[in-house]
Structure 1
Amino acid sequence: MNGAQSLIQTLVDSGVDVCFTNPGTSEMHFVAALDEVPGMRCVLCLFEGVVSGAALGYAAMRGSPAATLLHLGPGLGNAVANLHNAKKAHLPVVNIVGDHATYHLEYDAPLTSDIAGIAAPVSHWVHRSASSSAIAGDAAEAVREAGNSRIATLILPADVSWGDNPDGPAQPLSASLPVAAPAARIDAAARLLGNGKRTVILAGGRELSAQQGELLGRIAAVSGARLMSETFTARVRRGAGSVRIDKLPYLAEFAIEELKSVEQLILVGCPAPVSFFAYPGVPSLLAPDGCEVFSLAGPEEDVESTLQALVMQLGAADAEPERYPLQRGTPPSGALDANSVAQALACHLPEDAIVVDEGITSGMACYPATATAPAHDWLSEAGGSIGYGLPVAVGAAIACPQRKVICLEGDGSAMYTVQSLWTMAREQLDIVVVLFNNRKYSILELEFARTGARGGRPGPKAASVLDLGAPDLDFTALAQGMGVPASVAETAEAFSEQLRDALAAPGPHLIDARIPALELG
């Protein structure tokens, strides 16, 4: 058994049986080992940003890591944006990064690079395997280090991969389990909730599950606290029957207004809220001056057990939370815009769907519109690096093949990882892509105005770099060219019908929703 074979067998034995990959020469022995070692599903992606984004989506839905296989430093560099998103979301990934043979490094061949240096900002653990006999143990350690919330990067020199490993695969290692917040912190939270001050409980981080929502709802019912989720929680269980939890607005001015009268802010699974960017005259911290900010549980602690203990402390076990009712609404008619897309989504969303949200400005209406739709999971990009939606949909669909995935995608951000469509077609993934096509970087037009640059009004040169026209992007041709059936919707009725039909059919489909650009005052 060579090093690559022992590596793959160790990964499979450790529960990592999906690998998203874009390999090169240094990884060919790993590729060859796929035919020798059973149990590993390898998914080819045509760009490394798709590889890392798919691993993110898989981890979000499974709660455990997939592997990535990347080609040297440049391949890892291409994957960094979505590894950044995964790290900010506290999601686990095991990166296997091929490198030159150990004896070849001294010659500084064209692809020689500082892989460890590239990996460090987007990894919690980075290790270079020194020998073929060590690689299996290193792989087991990488899986343990990834756990359920971390990124581990293992560098695999080519000669370590092809060399003989007489010891074979390594035994899986047990990862450390998250623990609940200490009793003193739970006691302190109970005192805050009982002092009569205006209080918001802000929850988020890696996941806001149905059970966490139930516990938060009981706490709110007996304490009078308002429940809110942070703007970009990686995964939220929501919809009809779920506990009412308001989402903190993205725009800093709106978030500040929502929180202006809050005297106490209790954090569950997330940090204190800050403005996404700095703006002239706008505070970076969103909580008002004088507000007491208290962290009950961090993102790597056992949030559910912590909330269970707080429920018991407050005597809230039998309290009944405020819930969202089931209200589907009616199909939209008339002009197609962001609001009618949201209305159609709320009307047709299937039970237990997975919604991946990178709709940017055009998708903002979809979240509130679907609060009373059938229960579903909503995935958001915690790290803010675009090119998230399409590959995350790939990973989510592979993690949960029995569930429908809907990807809300902006036209500008789609072009960062548009190669995802090919993988959707190749794997016949059950994904409907709603492509908001307004032919602009509307979010950047909005941000241009909010930063006050040039008085908030771009001149002709500035406007040209925020515009996606001349030529217009033909997303139906792009999708069909990569094997994904596609259609164009220019009215609300057409979009609603196309969405209904796409959700009823298996396999991937893209709807090019032609909507007007955001109107700036």
Structure 2
Amino acid sequence: MNGAHAIIDTLTGCGVEVCFANPGTSEMQLVAAIDRQDGMRAILCLFEGVVTGAADGYGRMADKPAATLLHLGPGIGNGLANLHNARRARTPVLNLVGEHATDHLHHDAPLTSDTAAVARPMSDWLRLSRSARDLAQAGAEAYAAAMTYPGRIATVIVPADHAWTDGAAPAGPPALPVPPRSPRPVIGQAADALRATSGPCCLFLGGRALREDTLVQAGRIAAATGARLVCETFPARQARGAGRVAVEKLPYFGEQAEAFLRQFDTILFCGAEPPVSFFAYPGKPGWLSPPQAQLIRLAGPAEDVHAALADLATALDAPADPALVQPPGEHPPLEEGPLTPASLAAILAGLIPENAIISDEAVTAGVALQAMTVGARPHEWLSLTGGSIGQGLPVAVGAAVACPDRKVIALQADGSGMYTNQALWTMAREGLDIVTIILNNGSYAILNIELARVGVRDPGPKALSMLDLTRPAINWAQLSESLGVPATRVATTGAFREALAHSLATGGPRLIEALL
């Protein structure tokens, strides 16, 4: 058995079932090994940013890693933006990156680079295989690293000669690390603080604290103490909708977030660190927590957040039933007319299917979408965790692969969608049940806002041209059709409602281009 077969058999034995791939010559032995392994599904993506973004979406929903197969340093370099998002989401991802044969590196061939240096900034764990016999062991170690709670980016660099050389054997599945729990004194401190505070208090949630079962524990604490439940602005995965514990979202803009948090005397953080402003602005705050408030770290992102909240609920003798359960939303009829972000959000709120998954990269329209869908049927919301645009479509691909029995809706801004529009081809090739809604306003609209916020006044035509997407205008419906996904363009509330209802009732990928 050669090294390639040994590492693929090892990963399959660990439970890795999917490989998102964009391979090259140096990975052909790994391609052949995946071909012979019935337990691993191979999914081709036409750009490495789609590969890594799809692995992110898969890991968020499956709670285990997909493998990626990437071609040398430039290959993983092309995928770094969405690995950044995955790392910020604390998603389990396992990268296999090909490398030149060890005796070929000194020739400095055209694709030679410092692959480890390229991969390191977005990898929590990185290992270069030492031999064909070592390759399987590296794979097992990478799986254990990726599965370190709540999830990590693990990268194995695979020299081509290690992949093709015989004499290797699979490694057994590794023992997985158990997440640490918050110490009892911390639980006691948090309980005492909630009992003693006379002013408003806040339980600030992030990461895995936003899963449905964990939110129930947070809701029990709210029932016992009156604490407000607030979550980070861009959660990796949040359970939402009617019947679930509702959480307020921290505003995006720094001064709004600072004003929002200023009302609290005590803030307990669980699954998230104290928030900071997304960017620095002249004369505006970076650190957002109020200086006079008591800040308590109940559980960090790498600690067992469910156990921490359950232990705190027990310490408070909290009731079994949670507070703040979201009632169903009301969906009054809309007047017919031009489609707006608000009317689009209202229509979506009434049509979201039970147990749907929303991949949100709507950007400027996202505020209305999130606000109006809180009372929709129960669903899960995947956000742009790291701010590196081009995530929405690939994450939808990965989520649909992980959860083939659930409808996936991709809410995608037009500008950021162009970063990874190749994902549509993979949706079509794999027959994934995804409805993509392109919110087409012909602009990098968020950057028009940011231009003013950093103090630029009266921008000229050159500045504005760098934020405009209308010369020439992009026709997403035609682009989608060319990549194999049936599409329609709509500009009115009636047309959008009809198109969305039809797309949700139809299996397989569909795209709606909403002209705003």
Tell me the TM-score normalized by structure 1: 0.97
Structure-2 separation of matches of 1:345 and 1:377: 14
Report the alpha carbon displacement of residue 34 of structure 1 after superposing the two structures with TM: 2.1
Residue 202 of structure 2 aligns to a residue in which SS?
A: strand
The 5 A counterparts of 1:406-417 are 406-417=409-420
- The answer for the alignment partner of 1:447 in structure 2 is 450
Deviates more, 1:243-252 or 1:48-57: 243-252
Residue 502 of structure 1 aligns to a residue in which SS?
A: helix
Instruction: Output the amino acid matched with 1:84.
Output: H
Residue 316 of structure 1 aligns to a residue in which SS?
A: coil
- The answer for the alignment partner of 1:285 in structure 2 is 287
Deviates more, 1:376-385 or 1:247-256: 247-256
Report the alpha carbon displacement of residue 428 of structure 1 after superposing the two structures with TM: 0.5
The 5 A counterparts of 1:75-114 are 75-114=75-114
Residue by residue over 1:293-320, the C-alpha shift from the partner in whole angstroms, topping out at 9 and shown as x without a partner, is 2111011111001111100000004354
2:199 paired with 1:197 = yes
Structure-1 separation of matches of 2:254 and 2:431: 40
Instruction: Output the amino acid matched with 2:375.
Output: T
Instruction: Output the amino acid matched with 1:383.
Output: G
Residue by residue over 1:77-130, the C-alpha shift from the partner in whole angstroms, topping out at 9 and shown as x without a partner, is 000001001111111100000000000011111111111111111111111101
Tell me the TM-score normalized by structure 2: 0.98
Structure-2 separation of matches of 1:67 and 1:319: 40
Structure-1 separation of matches of 2:114 and 2:319: 54
Residue 511 of structure 1 aligns to a residue in which SS?
A: strand
Identity %: 51
- Runs of 4+ aligned residues of structure 1 deviating over 4 Å after TM superposition are none
Residue by residue over 1:313-337, the C-alpha shift from the partner in whole angstroms, topping out at 9 and shown as x without a partner, is 0000435412111125145332201
Tell me how many residue pairs correspond in the alignment: 512
Report the alpha carbon displacement of residue 220 of structure 1 after superposing the two structures with TM: 1.0
- The answer for the alignment partner of 1:312 in structure 2 is 314
Unpaired runs of 5+ residues, structure 2, are none
- The answer for the alignment partner of 2:49 in structure 1 is 49
Instruction: Output the amino acid matched with 1:176.
Output: P
- The answer for the alignment partner of 1:518 in structure 2 is none
CA contact (8 A) 2:208 2:305 kept: no
- The answer for the alignment partner of 1:519 in structure 2 is none
- The answer for the alignment partner of 1:145 in structure 2 is 145
Structure-2 separation of matches of 1:206 and 1:75: 30
Residue by residue over 1:342-390, the C-alpha shift from the partner in whole angstroms, topping out at 9 and shown as x without a partner, is 0011010000000010000022211111111000000002111000000
Residue 286 of structure 1 aligns to a residue in which SS?
A: coil
The 5 A counterparts of 1:364-513 are 364-453=367-456, 455=457, 457-513=458-514
CA contact (8 A) 1:6 1:165 kept: no
Pair 1:320–1:30, CA change in 2 (3 A): closer
Report the alpha carbon displacement of residue 258 of structure 1 after superposing the two structures with TM: 1.2
Unpaired runs of 5+ residues, structure 1, are 516-521
Report the alpha carbon displacement of residue 207 of structure 1 after superposing the two structures with TM: 5.3
Residue 452 of structure 1 aligns to a residue in which SS?
A: coil
Report the alpha carbon displacement of residue 289 of structure 1 after superposing the two structures with TM: 2.2
CA contact (8 A) 1:249 1:255 kept: yes
CA contact (8 A) 2:209 2:270 kept: no
Structure-1 separation of matches of 2:250 and 2:64: 28
The 5 A counterparts of 1:75-224 are 75-147=75-147, 148-166=150-168, 168-195=169-196, 196-206=198-208, 208-224=210-226
- The answer for the alignment partner of 1:357 in structure 2 is 360
Equivalent position to 2:345, from 342, 347, 353: 342
Deviates more, 1:336-345 or 1:323-332: 323-332
Equivalent position to 1:253, from 255, 279, 282: 255
